[in-house]
Structure 1
């Protein structure tokens, strides 16, 4: 008797925001069957967790995106943990290039392969060290700092000797988390009416490195505080993903006057350097220099759309 497999599929283009409803929204729910026979060049994977990342929102409407068999019987054993581009479903039948066995460093755990030792941690690593080129004594600002990528980026800046690391987040609780648990020097709630004044107060020597996950008004405010030869690592623009007409930076002339380098990047650009990055991240994680905190959305597969930015969810 074949087993059933629930899947979340993309059915309607956001207009411009995501509707997380599975009845008349952006996504739909369908049930398929898992074949009785799995070919020798495929492996059947049961999906335990899905990583829900802001970048997925852009994939839904981007005109140009960055998203891109051999015998497997001896390569994988029942019960082993793997990470894969499985799609939103309970089970997936995948080929050799679509699945990767999880190697858990000492002191770490399988879930880390989706967080600090996964795409979000690698994005933070390369964005902060290669694009932002953080160095001792720098003042560093991270937007979206309480998120999976921003939280690691700020901690890497501290590890590398930044003089001051400041996070921007959307609630008082998140700001306390950044300061008290992750070791940020300061945190600003961008929903405060005086957040721009707070930003000025905590950057008396201006901003050397800005790791941006948000864009919009926050990017503009940080451009106004840019130091000479500042490096702006543009990782994301979550404030603009649901906008009908995305807003670009108005303070772009600061790029000229302060000789600012503003560079967008994608983690896949650094694929050849993943082994070195994972060794560093695993070591820092095991030593307690990087702390992690997962946010798990309850409700099974059907709850997956709630993990993406949506005005209906207040994100």
Structure 2
């Protein structure tokens, strides 16, 4: 019988822009053996994030770039298949930054959390009950601080983060306006994620549509894009507006620093606040957010969509696919059965 191998996606070359399939290679290696205190995880789902573009870039970022010939950094969820640590048992489901590979031998400290049997698919631990839902929760409630009746505008509103932000704001009594691209995503925003208004920046007269959707101005802007979309929204901010910077998807090159309209005057005149954040700064509060989010997902108040690709060979093109807008929902790669 052929022995199982560990398939790994490694970074072969550093992209100057959005990572493409040719920047990666799929290789095979031996399944790693364990040292005392380590755990062997059989990954089931690999996560694909827009932030991965920054993780492989040579331009200064909030984390060290993935090394050439190194396994691509990624959040994953999988099963413990061997443990040499007393806190982890075979069969438990865990999540962490285990990389694009079949198997990962990790220190116990690298395990972000155990995923409970909550009646939901384990894939949700990477999306609505993972990095995306957590980003939405902390970005909205800690930074944006919504109040009933606030107008909340969200860019990439049909995405894994944006869709959560819109729904959480709606549940909090806000009026929600989603910005997205394409009629299918507009329908998703309106019919599934229950935005009060949804704008297609690709085909609508965006400036006019935005003014019509926000007749009383914008109290909160949850920014996942930067660029021209954000420039337009800034012209509508109210006194005391809160702008939360979560992503810069429209910026394809970071060196030199992009130049554009200066927003200082809008911020000054409206006494508004603009702040960036990273969800990894909130690790010690993940349990708090999950306690609030899990029942909302279970009872259908917080809806989600997943766009799942099958097979590790799909990984090299998956980041580029994300930026092409091919997915409707959280992009995941399934490389093993959900249960063992």
Does residue 192 in structure 1 map to residue 173 in structure 2?
Answer: no
In the TM superposition, residue 32 of structure 1 has moved relative to its aligned partner by 0.9
Q: Deviations over 1:265-292 (max 9, x none)?
A: 0112222322211111112112221011
Q: Are 1:242 and 1:310, in contact at CA under 8 Å, matched by a contact in 2?
A: no
Distance of 2:279 and 2:324 partners within structure 1:
28
The DSSP-based 3-state class of the residue aligned with 1:183 is coil
Aligned partner of 2:138 among 126, 134, 141? 126
Q: Are 2:129 and 2:294, in contact at CA under 8 Å, matched by a contact in 1?
A: yes
Distance of 2:164 and 2:47 partners within structure 1:
16
Distance of 1:238 and 1:78 partners within structure 2:
39
Moved more, 166-175 or 242-251: 242-251
Distance of 1:155 and 1:196 partners within structure 2:
24
The DSSP-based 3-state class of the residue aligned with 1:157 is helix
The DSSP-based 3-state class of the residue aligned with 2:222 is strand
Structure with more of its chain in strand, by fraction? 2
In the TM superposition, residue 72 of structure 1 has moved relative to its aligned partner by 3.6
- Normalization by structure 1: what TM-score? 0.90
Q: Deviations over 1:40-78 (max 9, x none)?
A: 32111111111101011111114132469xx74433333
Structure 1 runs not aligned, ≥5 long? none
What is the 5 A alignment of 1:7-46? Answer: 7-20=8-21, 25-35=22-32, 37-46=33-42
In the TM superposition, residue 211 of structure 1 has moved relative to its aligned partner by 0.4
Does residue 301 in structure 1 map to residue 297 in structure 2?
Answer: no
The DSSP-based 3-state class of the residue aligned with 2:233 is helix
Distance of 2:260 and 2:269 partners within structure 1:
15
In the TM superposition, residue 111 of structure 1 has moved relative to its aligned partner by 1.8
Tell me what 1:206 maps to. 217
Does residue 47 in structure 1 map to residue 68 in structure 2?
Answer: no
Distance 1:260-1:312 versus aligned 2 partners, 3 A rule: closer
Does residue 89 in structure 1 map to residue 89 in structure 2?
Answer: no
Distance of 1:287 and 1:184 partners within structure 2:
19
Instruction: Quote the RMSD (CA, aligned, Å).
Output: 2.2
Distance of 1:180 and 1:246 partners within structure 2:
38
